[in-house]
Structure 1
Amino acid sequence: MNQVATTPARSSIWVPVTGLSIFAIASGYLMSLLPLALGHNNLPTQAASWLASAYYIGLLIGSLMIEPVIKRIGHRMAFVTFLTLLAATVLLMSVNGDLNLWLGSRFIAGIAVAGIFVVIESWLLIGDSKEERAKNLGLYMTSLYGGTTLGQFGIGIFGTAGMIPFAVVLGLLLAAMLPAIAAKGAKPNVEQHISLSLRQILGLSKPAFVGCIVSGIVMGSIYGLLPLALKAEVSGNDKISVLMAATVLGGMVIQPIVGKLSCRMSKTVLLALMCLLGVFAMGLYLVDQSYVTQIVALALLGMSAFALYPIAITLACDGIPSQSIVSATQVMLFCYSVGSALGPVAADFYMGQEQGLMAYFFGILLATSLYMLLVSLKTKPAAVAH
């Protein structure tokens, strides 16, 4: 058991939320920019899946390293540190188009983003009740996906060629640091951080583990390969940005609903229902590929895919004291990262097939929904051993 004492904190929620929102705009633009910028940098199209996997492998490794950093320098300075590291990778990629450098930069970026996620999630999830945690996580996800939605429009506004897109992303990342730098006394309300033991980790809800892994599989493929899949089906960056924005906007819109439902019904059943919504969305997309239908279907996919992680992480945190939230969020991010690292590689196989990426989403979400329904029928929610 590791712990660190802190002084009584001033819980300035606006600091992580504001910083996260600006970061999300930059991240949303960057994640859609990279697959589309390959051609401008004389890189092969296949590099899209390699870059996505390098990023999520970094996210995976980073998820194992974050807790000691937060314990040593605190949430506020950890947030600034990880944003600085991410900004450095963007700067490197903007001045050099070498594929190996891009792969290395995306790997380091994954480590940095793992730190950002654990800092923000644990900052906002520290609370004494399920309702408070669900409300704060809803705020977190809404800020994240709202910013990411705005970021998609960067493709149409700033384009995908040259230095300007990278300069815009870099400027946004630097701006995201300002709230944490300005509010020197901001920190979450917690007196100590306690690491979960292996026994406690294994006592976490199994559907929570599965939910985070599947969320990573789907989200990694959405961010890493969906812009490329859409490029083969629609013409113009403007349409791609609208379709990507519809996907993320759907994820943002569903967050308040998910926050309320997670307090009123079984989270395992709710995970099953969200997966079934994604199955319906992909069925709709495969049946009718008109532009309007694509917008509706991808918005529904966003509702499904973006809801899985917040439901799963709140399920995992049920019954966990505030002091262990940092440790628990690190474990769940690790599971998400496993899925994120594997997802784009497996999805790349489907990219060359007739039904493509949408059939991949259909199969993954259908299998997950069946698992969640079976678990909800056979077992009760698992309790954590303290």
Structure 2
Amino acid sequence: MAILERNQTRRDPAQGSPPAPAIAIASVVLSMALVAVGNGLMFAYIPVRLGAEGFDPTWAGLIVTGLSAGGLAGCILTGPLVRRVGHARAFMVLSALIVLSNAAVGAGPHPLSWIAARALYGFAICGLFIVAQSWLNDVVANAIRGRVMAFFYVAYVAGLGVGYSTLALIDIRAADAPLIGIAFTALSILPVGLTRLTQPPPPQAASVALGRAWRISPVGVAGMLAVGGLSMTISGFAPIHATAEGYSQADVALLLSAMPVGTLILQVPLGWISDRTDRRFVLAAASALAMVAGLFALGFDGGALAALVVIYVVWDGASESIYSLASAHAADRAGKDDMVALSSSLLFAWSLSGFIVPGIVTGLSAVYGTQAFIYVAIVIAAAFCLFVLWRVVAMSPVPAAE
């Protein structure tokens, strides 16, 4: 069954099956939070380790681009994997790939091999998001989806923050970070392996269908394109830029570990509001806030660390909030049997932007300096805000009861 046309609505789980227990939903959320701890540490570790070894910042940018390239492949291949083995087994397979990626990074600072290792990580983490999101979207109703997806993303970002902060506690020249990443990824398999959450039936549509996803929800797809570029630009290049500006390992760790606080503060309230109004209003507000925060980041760039921490907290929180809001908005308009295909398509849009934009930023940084990522992020947020406002004028919302 193909992804449903935009004017069709998804069947509410409450109409066909009892609601899933909160503890069962929490098992999927907990697994992703555990994965995030290792992921956050590796995100912070790689650019700082490369800087400590004397490599040019361009290498760190290429590694971010490689990660996103792997994500594109993950979006294409995860759907067929889920259709073949189911959600739980697919989750375990993808977690094993992250373990392998971290092991390769732990072998030593070899930029070319790290590009391949992070591409494998990108493949696996995009696959994990597809599995987790489609699983959760299958068991929650439209009326609470915004809150559930916000809670899911808050838990993931909280895990990232724990991982970021761990950077200050490790020996940057040792293999501590990859080993910690391996340990937390292995732990993440346990909640999913023990969950009693009912698995969705094998999806009838499992391939990427970006055009159909656009017909269902242009704002949802555009939101993923925007947040993919914003997320990979801010989280990927903030440590590169901070290291190039001369901030210490502890300063970079503090900045990165503080950034997820903005998501923790903004994500759940925005999700709650979006369940009670047109989600597009909330998306427009989040993107406008991201644009303003980016302007402040530009104005205070290179200044006092305390000011930068506050600005980056708001900037990252507003930008990352677009992810769950756009995902929930698109799922409101999809059919129950098409959640895997929709999740694959949305993550493909995220990864496509996350692949293209870091490549652009890497090229601009080589010419104009590492500050270029701030300008790019501002442009993305402004463009998406204008697009959402145009869609609000052009199209009516989907009622929450549908």
Alignment size in residue pairs? 378
Contact 2:234 2:316 in 1 (8 A): no
Work out the CA distance in 1 between the residues paired with 2:112 and 2:206: 37
Contact 2:288 2:382 in 1 (8 A): yes
Residue 249 and residue 381 in structure 1: after superposition, are their counterparts in 2 closer, same or farther (change >3 A)?
A: same
Contact 1:124 1:188 in 2 (8 A): no
Residue 310 (structure 1) shift: 0.8
Show the counterpart of 1:120.
132
SS in 1 for 2:57: coil
How do 1:282-361 residues align onto structure 2 when only pairs under 5 Å count?
282-288=294-300, 289-351=303-365, 353=368, 355-361=371-377
Once the two structures are superposed, residues 62-85 of structure 1 have per-residue CA deviations (whole angstroms, 9 ceiling, x without a partner) of 101111211222211111111111
Residue 29 (structure 1) shift: 0.8
Aligned AA (2:346):
M
Residue 153 and residue 345 in structure 1: after superposition, are their counterparts in 2 closer, same or farther (change >3 A)?
A: same
Residue 296 and residue 375 in structure 1: after superposition, are their counterparts in 2 closer, same or farther (change >3 A)?
A: same
Work out the CA distance in 1 between the residues paired with 2:118 and 2:189: 20
SS in 2 for 1:370: helix
Instruction: State TM-score, norm by structure 2.
Output: 0.87
Show the counterpart of 2:260.
248
How do 1:248-287 residues align onto structure 2 when only pairs under 5 Å count?
248-287=260-299
Decide which moves more: 137-146 or 186-195: 186-195
Residue 54 (structure 1) shift: 0.8
Aligned AA (1:230):
A
Instruction: State TM-score, norm by structure 1.
Output: 0.90
Aligned CA-pair RMSD = 2.5
Percent of aligned pairs with the same amino acid: 19
How do 1:1-386 residues align onto structure 2 when only pairs under 5 Å count?
1=1, 12-40=24-52, 43-127=55-139, 129-181=141-193, 183=194, 186-188=196-198, 190-195=200-205, 200-233=212-245, 235-288=247-300, 289-351=303-365, 353=368, 355-381=371-397
Work out the CA distance in 2 between the residues paired with 1:13 and 1:118: 15
Work out the CA distance in 2 between the residues paired with 1:223 and 1:160: 19
Gaps of 5+ in 1: 3-7
Work out the CA distance in 1 between the residues paired with 2:144 and 2:203: 19
Gaps of 5+ in 2: 3-17
Once the two structures are superposed, residues 298-336 of structure 1 have per-residue CA deviations (whole angstroms, 9 ceiling, x without a partner) of 011112111111111111111323322111111100000
Contact 1:243 1:295 in 2 (8 A): yes
SS in 1 for 2:368: coil
Contact 1:54 1:104 in 2 (8 A): yes
Work out the CA distance in 1 between the residues paired with 2:201 and 2:380: 41
Residue 24 (structure 1) shift: 0.6
Contact 2:213 2:221 in 1 (8 A): no
